[in-house]
Structure 1
C-alpha cells in the first residue's frame, strides 16, 4: 500500500509542478501588463462587444469607444444610443431613445463589469493561470484564464488574450453561469490621448431636453 501511494504521488508531482509554473508565468505576464497600463495617463480605445448564448441562439454585437484615466476610476463609454460617464464616484447613464440620464453611484461590486475595467480586472479577486500561446493575425497572444476567488460571482471564468510584444490586452472573454459569453475585442489603443477633464463629468448643457433621474 505504501509503495502504491508513493508511486501515485510521484505521478501527480509533475502535474502539480506544471500547474504551479503556469500560475507563476501568468502572474509575471499580468504584472508586465499592469505596469505598462499604469504608466499611461488617459487611454482611448475602440472596441467591439459581443453577447453570445448558443442555447438561446443569441448573438449580438455592437461597437463602442472607451476613454479612461488609467490611474483613477474615471471613464467615458460611448455605445450606440447610450453613454456612460464617471468622475470616479458617480456614474451618469445617458439613454438617447428615452431622453433620460440616470445618475447613480459607481458600482464597485465584484460583479460589476464594463469596458473601463477590462485593463485592470485581473488585479484583484482572481486566481490566474497561463494556458498557452496562439497566433492571431500575425500576432502571438498569451492566453490566461482568470477564476474568481468568490464562487458567488455571476461568472466563473475570464479568458484574457494578451499581445506578447506590446503587453496589451487584446480580447477578454467572460463566461457566466447562465450560459452567456461576453467578448470584448480591442480594435484600437491610443495611449496618453489629450482630453479635457470635463470628459469625465456630465454637462447638462450638452444634452438639452434630457431628464435627469437621481438614483442615489
Structure 2
C-alpha cells in the first residue's frame, strides 16, 4: 500500500514539475517575441480575420492591416479606420461621414491594436502546445488561459514563427464557443512613415462634411 502511495506521489510530483517546466518555456518564448517586437521602430501587419460559431451557424471572413509604433496605431478594417495617438482613439467611418473621438482609459482591458503584441505578458497561465509546419515554417503554439474566471475568453492559442520570433496566428475561443482567428499574411518592420500618420486633423474632416462625436 505504501509503495503504491509513494509511486502516486512520485508520479504526481513528476507531472507537476513537467507542467511547471512547460509553463516556464512557454512564458520565455513569449518574452522573446515581446523583446523582438519592442526592438522595432514600427510594425506593419496585413492580416486575415475569421469569426466562427457552429452553434449559431456563423462564419465570417475579412482582411485588414494595422501600423503600430509605440502606443500609436492606425487600423484599416471593414471599410473604417481606427487611429490612436496614444491619448485618444479616433474611429473614422467614411460610409457614415462620421468620426468618434474617445479618450483612452487606463482601465480598459480590451485587446486594442497597441496591445496586440503585449497583452499576453500578464493575466494568463501558460502551456507549451503543438508545433506545426506551415509552408516550411515552424509555428510553435503557446496556450494562454485567463487567470480571471469571470472573463468571456476560455483560451487563446498564439502561434509563433520560430524562425523570426514573430506572432503568426492568434486563435481565441470564447466560453460561448465562438472562435476568433487572426492570421498574419505579412509582417514588415521599420517602414518609412509620414510624420502625421497618427495625427488627427479635425478641420480636414469638418471641411469634408464629417460629423464629429466627442465622447
Which TM-score applies when normalising by structure 1? Answer: 0.91
Q: Which structure 2 segments of 5+ residues have no match?
A: none
User: Matches of residues 116-155 of structure 1 in structure 2 within 5 Å?
Assistant: 116-155=114-153
Instruction: Call closer, same or farther: CA 1:104–1:158 in 2, change over 3 Å.
Output: same
Task: Give the aligned partner of residue 214 of structure 2.
Answer: 214
State the 1:39 CA deviation: 0.3
8 Å CA contact retained: 2:73, 2:113:
no
Task: Give the aligned partner of residue 101 of structure 1.
Answer: 99
Task: Give the aligned partner of residue 36 of structure 2.
Answer: 36
Task: Give the aligned partner of residue 76 of structure 1.
Answer: 74
Q: Distance in 1 between matches of 2:123 and 2:91?
A: 27
8 Å CA contact retained: 1:111, 1:154:
no
Root mean square deviation, CA, Å: 1.7
Q: Distance in 2 between matches of 1:152 and 1:110?
A: 15
Q: Which moved more, 1:179-188 or 1:105-114?
A: 105-114
Which TM-score applies when normalising by structure 2? Answer: 0.92
* SS of aligned partner of 1:158: strand
Q: Which moved more, 1:113-122 or 1:87-96?
A: 113-122
Task: Give the aligned partner of residue 60 of structure 1.
Answer: 60
Task: Give the aligned partner of residue 165 of structure 2.
Answer: 167
Q: Which moved more, 1:108-117 or 1:33-42?
A: 108-117
Q: Which structure 1 segments of 5+ residues have no match?
A: none
8 Å CA contact retained: 2:23, 2:126:
yes
* SS of aligned partner of 1:200: coil
* SS of aligned partner of 2:95: coil
Q: Which moved more, 1:122-131 or 1:199-208?
A: 199-208
Instruction: Call closer, same or farther: CA 1:146–1:155 in 2, change over 3 Å.
Output: same
8 Å CA contact retained: 2:68, 2:113:
no
Task: Give the aligned partner of residue 10 of structure 1.
Answer: 10
Q: Distance in 2 between matches of 1:131 and 1:110?
A: 29
8 Å CA contact retained: 1:161, 1:172:
yes
State the 1:165 CA deviation: 0.8
Q: Distance in 2 between matches of 1:110 and 1:24?
A: 28
